[in-house]
Structure 1
Amino acid sequence: MPKPDTTALPNDLSTLDLTSGSEAVDSRLNPAQMLSLIDSILPFEACLYHEIIPLSVESSCLHLGMVNPADTAAIDYARKQVSFIHCSVVSWPISSDWQRKMLSKYLSYAARTKPKSQAPTSHLSPQAPPTDDELLTFIVDSPDDLLSDRPP
């Protein structure tokens, strides 16, 4: 049985094959800006949902790769997101496969470079007792449950 390839992927995204097959898109792609824009302005989930990918920002213009450049909801979302940095949006057609490939590479890169978040705390972990100015809150599904449990 062959062993899985466990060699580490490079931390520098620019060393990966990012070519889209479109000279117009490839000439506007800036991998560092793409990562930064996904981290800050066009979140991964929105890129996945709207089938978009930020390519770069040049001269107050966001170059946006779009699987469907006629998708008005996607372009409106992108315009709204970049309006606070005073950028306009220019869309460029990209293939669905290339967009998913870029998002996959973004996730791989982010997993290697971002610090791990703390593990969620267990429900069973000891908690500090409430102080005098804190009150405990009891939450029920329905007030009727409380009334039916009261003694007559």
Structure 2
Amino acid sequence: MLSSEGKGKSTDTEANHQQAQSSANPQQEELEQIFYLLDNLLSFEACLYHQILPLRLQGDKLLVGMVNVGDHVAQDYVNQILSYVKYKSLITPITDEAHRGFLSTYLSCKNTEKSRSKSEVPQSKLKKAANSNINSSSQEASFTQTNQQPIISSQLPTLSIPISEELIPLELLPTLPPKQFLGELLARVIVGGIGRLYFERLPYQGRILWSENGVLQSVLEKLPLSVFQGAINEVKKFANLPVGTLTEAKQVEKEYLYQQKRLLLRLRFMPGMYGEEATLQVLKGAALKFYQKQQISRLSRDAVSISQQLRYKLHELQEQMLQNPNVSNEQIESLTVLNRLLSNLDSQIKTFSDSEEEIST
């Protein structure tokens, strides 16, 4: 077994190999977990390029199938990505046939989702899709944004980009100025379903992969590093980040109106094997609603946890005060008020959490 921690025991290797073999004929639940990991951890494009496949999470470790377990570049890539989320890798061999089969099934599933009406997409499928702050002062780009009247009690900037009839041929994009180049890319990734751009840096050049609903649409290869870095710098301006090299992963999200509909741009920057890389993902429609609901649920759970920690600390404080004869009446009164406020806070959080559960069901 190869891992981010080094070689393990042969018994572990055999166990992981058996797990990989059992994944060759996965149950639906295992297949959904693989698809979820492809959407949220190791992207389809990276798995296709490095011939890797995320199989399952085991605590803080990710079991990764690899066609060539001696591919140190692929191993380093996996460990680099997992380090951002504090996971470690467990590498196990899989056959080239199994690797192609899983990715083909993944694409078939995505194509099936794409052909359905958005109103008919089941929540179990949306989970796989769910898991940029655009510079409002930039008027020089080929795309602009303006403020509209409040929609559903919130005011969102409007994103304006070139329409499909005005797009420049793909092969000419590298000749454009950086702002126009990125505007053309953004126009392509927004008009479809769940769009994604992956800016991959190679030793002496860069490339940009464009996918839609998990299906690879096109690749801009052999981009000069000046063109590639110029595009990443423009993405940073979207996120209101400095164009200097980032030393750690950074993610920015921003919601916009596009053609009177909401969409979310998720921009992520991360150190890669050969320098900075980035991804740009678009969520809209049912996928956006599902993602936002998941975020609310997560924050609700965090609020409950923080409230419980605060209650425990107040209980400790009360015990210490009871043992201290020098406690003043003002301190006792303050503690009583805090306990009363916390009880009210607990009640409000419980009401909110119960409402969320009812909406989910």
| Other-structure match for 2:19 | 24
1:1-34 CA distance string (max 9 Å, x none): xxxxxxxxxxxxxxxxxxxxx6331446622221
Aligned-partner SS, 1:122: helix
| Other-structure match for 2:50 | 50
Provide the C-alpha distance between the structure 1 equivalents of 2:114 and 2:61, rounded to a whole number of angstroms: 28
Give identity over the alignment, percent: 35
1:81-102 CA distance string (max 9 Å, x none): 1112211000110001110110
1:80 aligns with 2:80: yes
* 1:33-112 mapped onto 2 (5 Å cutoff): 33-112=33-112
Length, aligned pairs only: 102
Provide the C-alpha distance between the structure 1 equivalents of 2:57 and 2:114, rounded to a whole number of angstroms: 23
Structure 2: which 5+ residue stretches go unaligned? 1-16, 117-162, 168-179, 181-361
Aligned-partner SS, 1:92: strand
Q: 1:56 to 1:114 in 2, by over 3 A?
A: farther
Provide the C-alpha distance between the structure 2 equivalents of 1:82 and 1:111, rounded to a whole number of angstroms: 28
Provide the C-alpha distance between the structure 1 equivalents of 2:115 and 2:60, rounded to a whole number of angstroms: 31
Provide the C-alpha distance between the structure 2 equivalents of 1:113 and 1:83, rounded to a whole number of angstroms: 32
Provide the C-alpha distance between the structure 2 equivalents of 1:86 and 1:110, rounded to a whole number of angstroms: 29
Letter in 2 for 1:24: Q
Return the match for 2:166 from 109, 123, 139: 123
Structure 1: which 5+ residue stretches go unaligned? 1-21, 125-136, 138-152
Q: Which has the higher helix share?
A: 2
1:90-147 CA distance string (max 9 Å, x none): 011000111011000010111222588xxx62129xxxxxxxxxxxx9xxxxxxxxxx
Q: 1:23 to 1:75 in 2, by over 3 A?
A: same
Aligned-partner SS, 1:111: helix
Over aligned residue pairs, what C-alpha RMSD do you find? 2.6
Letter in 2 for 1:121: S
Provide the C-alpha distance between the structure 2 equivalents of 1:74 and 1:109, rounded to a whole number of angstroms: 26
Aligned-partner SS, 2:164: coil
**Taking structure 1 as the reference length, what is the TM-score of the superposition?**
0.59
Q: 1:98 to 1:27 in 2, by over 3 A?
A: closer
Q: Which has the higher strand share?
A: 2
Provide the C-alpha distance between the structure 1 equivalents of 2:109 and 2:99, rounded to a whole number of angstroms: 15
Aligned-partner SS, 2:57: strand
Provide the C-alpha distance between the structure 2 equivalents of 1:91 and 1:37, rounded to a whole number of angstroms: 15
Provide the C-alpha distance between the structure 1 equivalents of 2:98 and 2:75, rounded to a whole number of angstroms: 19
Q: 1:80 to 1:107 in 2, by over 3 A?
A: same
Tell me which of the two structures has the higher relative contact order, counting C-alpha pairs closer than 8 angstroms and 6 or more residues apart: 1
**Taking structure 2 as the reference length, what is the TM-score of the superposition?**
0.26
